[in-house]
Amino acid sequence: METQQLDRIGTDPEAFEAFYRENVEGVQRFVARRVDDRERVADLTAEVFLAAITAAHTYDRRLGPPQAWLYGIARVTLASERRSRGRERAGIERVRGSALIGEDDIAAMDARIDAEARSRELYAAMGQLAEGERTVLELVVLDGLSVSEAAAVAGVRPVTARVRLHRARRKLRAALEGPPRPRPTVNQSHRIEEEGS
C-alpha cells in the first residue's frame, strides 16, 4: 500500500481491506510468536488493526515503512494486554475474534501458532534479557526490521538499538549454550591419563 493512502484506512473501507490483506499474516505471526492461544491471537490481531485505524493519521513515513509502524502498534497492544489480562473490564463486552473468522481461517491460524512453537521456546530463554534488549532483538531477528526501523518502533536512537541488539545476542547465545563445562584440574587430568594407560 502506498504510504500516502495509509491515512485513509479509517475512512475508506477499500483502503482498509487492502491494508489488512497485505499485513494480516505478518501481524498474526508477530502475535503468535508471543501468544499460544488461538482466540487471544485472533483478538489481539483485531485489536492491532483497530488501533491502526485510529492512529493512521500519526504515521510518519520518515520513521520507517508501514509494517514497522504496525509492529509498533502490535507491540504496544501486546504490552497493554499483558498488563490488563486477568482483570475483567466491567460493562464492556468483547467481541471474540474467533467468532468472526471461518473454519479455513482457524486452520490457518492454528498452523501459524504451531509454526511459531519453536519461537515460543526461544522466548523462554529471551525472558532473561532486559526489556529494551529483548524488544530490539525481537524486532530485528524475529520480525525482520532493520536496526533503524527497530529503533523507531522502540523509541530509541539507532546507536542505542545496535548496542542493545549486540548485548541481547551475546546474552542469549550464552543462555542457550548453557554454562561452560569445567576444565579438568591437574589432578583429574593425571588420573584420566593413568586410567587410559
Gap between the Cα atoms of 145 and 153, Å rounded: 9
Gap between the Cα atoms of 167 and 67, Å rounded: 25
Instruction: Specify if 193 maps to a domain.
Output: no
Asked if 51 and 135 sit in the same domain, the reply is no
Domain assignment of residue 19, given as a range:
1-85+93-115
Asked if 26 and 8 sit in the same domain, the reply is yes
* Residue 171 CB coordination number (10 Å): 18
Gap between the Cα atoms of 147 and 131, Å rounded: 16
pLDDT above 70: residue 168:
yes
Element (H, E) at 57: none
Instruction: Specify if 196 maps to a domain.
Output: no
Gap between the Cα atoms of 169 and 140, Å rounded: 11
Asked if 155 and 79 sit in the same domain, the reply is no
Asked if 100 and 148 sit in the same domain, the reply is no
Gap between the Cα atoms of 134 and 28, Å rounded: 19
Question: Of 100, 37, 45, nearest to 73 (Cα)?
Answer: 45
Asked if 147 and 77 sit in the same domain, the reply is no
Instruction: Specify if 53 maps to a domain.
Output: yes
Asked if 148 and 162 sit in the same domain, the reply is yes
pLDDT digits 0-9 by tens, 105-134: 777 777 777 776 656 667 777 888 888 998
Instruction: Provide the number of structural domains found in the chain.
Output: 2
Instruction: Specify if 194 maps to a domain.
Output: no
Using CA atoms, how far residue 68 sits from 11, 86, 118, in Å, is 22, 29, 23
Asked if 111 and 146 sit in the same domain, the reply is no
pLDDT above 50: residue 158:
yes
Gap between the Cα atoms of 116 and 129, Å rounded: 20
The least confident of 33-42, 45-54, 82-91, 155-164 is 82-91
CATH number of the CATH domain containing 161: 1.10.10.10
pLDDT above 70: residue 13:
yes
pTM for the model stands at 0.59
Longest dimension (CA), the chain: 83
What is the average pLDDT across 16-26? 91
Asked if 110 and 26 sit in the same domain, the reply is yes
All three cell numbers of 4 = 500516502
Asked if 26 and 109 sit in the same domain, the reply is yes
Higher-confidence residue: 196 or 136? Answer: 136
CATH number of the CATH domain containing 25: 1.10.1740
Instruction: Supply the pLDDT for residue 92.
Output: 43
Q: Do the beta carbons of residue 44 and residue 31 sit within 8 Å?
A: yes
